[in-house]
Chains A and B, each alone.
Chain A
């Protein structure tokens, strides 16, 4: 098992009120899986991605990554894992505005200590995968939303991570480009990468071998993508609401 979450809670205290962003999530993801995470806005999808990506620490619960307890890892070890094992595609790109897109794509490799020549080559290769080789010297502010999205994807791919975490990777793309990105994910999946992606498009989720539905920080559905994506989820949501007593 690559990812093993056992009763994960992530709570925020906002002005004395407890917000349960994750409320007892237990899931396992095998190496090589392609999983979609769906759910309404505010259901905890990004929070879950941050926990899986070793960026956020759960309030309670156990997270085993590759059989190792993440809670016991030092800050440096976590930084190393984020750099080596994980490719993040954030919901709002998170690019450095003053650097060129190529420099942005090179960044994970910089922190890995790859030589300037090698990382340039790898970054260019990643830019080609997302069809952006003609925009390498542009800064993010000089790119369209979809192009920024693709730079963010290229950055995640450049480090050749074993686990890709993508938060709404097609959210800003037209259907053609979106389709290309999805095909890219399919290829990466075939090549053995593990992919977890958040999406609000049932059509995309349906194409994933597996989908997990979140509602109010709880897992309310887990199964083949085609089944979970179009599932009527009203009932579980109200159940969850009752459990909260609200």
Chain B
């Protein structure tokens, strides 16, 4: 008797058994279904997030670094960063003079504040104080009017270059240039509009107003530690540039040789690693939940299969007496478990994909579904059934035929 016979007869019996116990089949599959649904929804959402995040990262401009007192992403001991000296224009000057890999070097100060125009108001707008070369460092362009000049900075002029979100809100129909807006309560004349950059991690980069560095200092936190925005001339030389910057800054700040750097060189890529850690953790937790649900589902299947073996003890005895080999019986029950589980997997796949779709509709997260994900969902469920079906199937096959036939 061939494996083909085992498989054919096994599937026929399995299908019939499932059809005979429709309610039981559905209930059994729920566990596995939920597990698969969870896994797929998570996979779909994270895949979607990855896709949109890659696009977002590209907009950051990959050959700029920002020297700050603190790293953007703080890991570990927060106290470690407390006693650090401020970064000042002197340090900036040192970089500008000594760094051979650097292009534009600009001071950057940041603040979030309200911006108003004609009684309308935007809150939590990013206010940046910088100089004329900030465009090169930030990757913004000017679409209207002009950018800040040295003279704007020297004379602390009350001028502002605005991001598209600000422009669209306040000036939907008219040219913003020449109008006066209030930035943190101070009247400033709009001289230019920036190009659109889009969002990073769901935060718009276009909800921004850029004013001269000195103007910023006189109106906002004057004594704050500055950030030094640096354009690296050649992206390939990023690492060498960083090494050189570390040397320059340690010298300028007189960092003792036995102490670690008391400043941080921040790169947009760091956001990527933060993102990966963030989603990695999310991914891990969700996968864990999914696997646990699948485990529970699998145990449910094992339980039902044991019940099924118990119920059909006499049937097993009859089949064995008529010439079914142990292998045949195992195949029959494993197929049945696999089939139940695959049915659950298929239902779970539908629900999971639906869930991911809903998430992508009601939240800014995009959900993409790769065809492999569907195959994975059903295949994985089938695998769960197979694994958890083996033991009950082996029990069935190892029943003593005579004992089995005596079963009432």
Contacts and interface: CB of A to CB of B under 8 A. Distances in A.
A63 interface: no
Interface stretch (A1-9, A90-98, A206-214, A219-227): A90-98
14 contacts: A55-B321, A56-B401, A56-B402, A79-B324, A79-B326, A80-B325, A82-B322, A83-B323, A90-B405, A94-B405, A96-B315, A107-B319, A108-B323, A111-B1
Contacts of B405: 55, 90, 94
Interface of B: 1-2, 5, 9, 16, 20, 314-315, 317-328, 401-402, 405
Q: Which of B1, B322, B327, B401 has the most CB of A within 10 A?
A: B322
A111 B321 contact: no
A107 B401 contact: no
Contact of B323 (A50, A82, A96): A82
Nearest to B20: A98
B325 A88 contact: no
A97 B50 CA distance: 56
Contacts of A53: 321
A108 B9 CA distance: 12
Main secondary structure of the interface of B (DSSP, over half): helix
A55 B322 contact: no
B402 A110 contact: no
Contacts of A76: 325-327
A189 B195 CA distance: 101
Contacts of B324: 79, 111
Interface string A65-84: 00000000001100110111
Contacts of B317: 94
A50 B323 CA distance: 14
A111 B401 contact: no
Residue in B2, B321, B324 with the greatest tally of chain A CB atoms within 10 Å: B321
A112 interface: yes
A79 B16 contact: no
Nearest to A156: B322
A88 B321 contact: yes
B328 A111 contact: yes
A75 B326 contact: yes
A57 to B, nearest CB: 9
Contact of A94 (B1, B20, B314): B314
SS of A interface (majority): helix
Interface of A: 50, 53, 55-56, 75-76, 79-80, 82-84, 88, 90, 94-96, 98, 107-108, 110-113, 155
A107 B12 CA distance: 13
Nearest to B327: A76
Contacts of A82: 320-323
A55 B1 CA distance: 19
Contact of B5 (A55, A80, A88, A111): A111
A75 B401 CA distance: 11
Contacts of B16: 98
Contacts of A83: 1, 322-323
B160 to A, nearest CB: 82
Contacts of A50: 402
Contacts of A107: 318-319, 322
A110 B6 CA distance: 9
Nearest to B2: A113
Contact of B318 (A80, A84, A94): A94
A94 B318 CA distance: 6
Nearest to B12: A110
Nearest to A90: B405
Contacts of A96: 315, 318
Please name the 6 residue pairs, one residue from A and one from B, whose CB atoms are nearest each other, closest first: A83-B323, A111-B323, A79-B325, A108-B322, A56-B402, A113-B5
Nearest to B1: A113
Given A55-B320, A79-B324, A107-B318, 11 more contacts: A55-B401, A55-B402, A56-B402, A76-B325, A79-B326, A82-B322, A83-B322, A88-B321, A110-B9, A111-B1, A113-B2
Most interface-central of A53, A84, A110, A113 (chain B CB within 10 A): A110
A113 B1 CA distance: 6
Contacts of A94: 314, 317-318, 321, 405
A53 B16 CA distance: 30
Nearest to A50: B402
B321 A112 contact: no
A99 to B, nearest CB: 9
A84 B328 CA distance: 16
Contacts of B20: 98
Contacts of A90: 321, 405
Nearest to A97: B315
A110 B327 CA distance: 15
A94 B16 CA distance: 19
